[in-house]
Amino acid sequence: MRPESPLLRRRAGSSLRQVSAHLRPAAAADAADIARIWHEGWRDGHLGHVPPELAEIRTPASFDRRAVDRLPQTTVAEVDGEVAGFLVVVGDEAEQVYVDRTHRGTGVAADLLAEAEQQIRSAGHPRAWLAVAVGNDRAKRFYERAGWVDDGPLDYQAEGASGPVPVPCRRFVRDLA
């Protein structure tokens, strides 16, 4: 885990202020916060960009289940004692990187992405990858600014109700060596 780092966070009705984020392995008590952040962030970045059959099954309850299932691979970022974001690393993939709406633009996502890179590197992988849904331009710009490179189209096999659902994505990569 990386040590605490200073971040800037915008509070409603105030200017930016410096705060600290703490990255740590997720615990069972974090599952509800992770599920909420994931559901809200997924809707922000994916609605209108994924097949309708996938959007229909991505309910709050589905994120509750998925958050619990992925706890062993999840790292959370805490700011002021609350879960501000999380990441899930599976093998050489930064599978999920999400930040609560109130913490976007504060550096939390950059810290989580750097942690994902470190975890993947530490596991012996020379290259990391992640998928960005076609049309999720905010995420695409963030990853490009962070030094990730668009490696081309990918039909990502998302977990569907009765099997995988192909989602048109762009595969982003980052060399870690």
Residue 16 clears pLDDT 80, i.e. is over it: no
Chain segment 137-159, per-residue pLDDT in tens: 999 999 999 999 999 999 999 98
pLDDT category at 21 given cuts 50, 70, 90 is: confident
Chain segment 78-137, per-residue pLDDT in tens: 999 999 999 999 999 999 999 999 999 899 999 999 999 999 999 999 999 999 999 999
Residue 20 clears pLDDT 90, i.e. is over it: no
Chain segment 31-76, per-residue pLDDT in tens: 999 999 999 999 999 999 999 999 999 999 999 999 999 999 999 9
Domain parsing of the chain, residue ranges? 25-175
Strand order from edge to edge, sheet including 74-79: 5-10, 16-25, 74-79, 82-90, 93-99, 127-133, 163-175, 149-160
pLDDT category at 19 given cuts 50, 70, 90 is: low
Helix H or strand E segment including 82: strand 82-90
Whole-structure pTM value: 0.87
Copy the structure tokens of residue 162: 């009765």
Please report, rounded to a whole number, the percentage of residues in the chain having pLDDT higher than 90: 83
The pLDDT of 166-175, averaged and rounded, is 97
Question: One-letter amino acid identity for 135?
Answer: G
Q: How far apart are CA 125 and CA 43, in angstroms?
A: 30
Domain 25-175: homologous superfamily in CATH: Gcn5-related N-acetyltransferase (GNAT) (3.40.630.30)
Strand partners for 154: 169
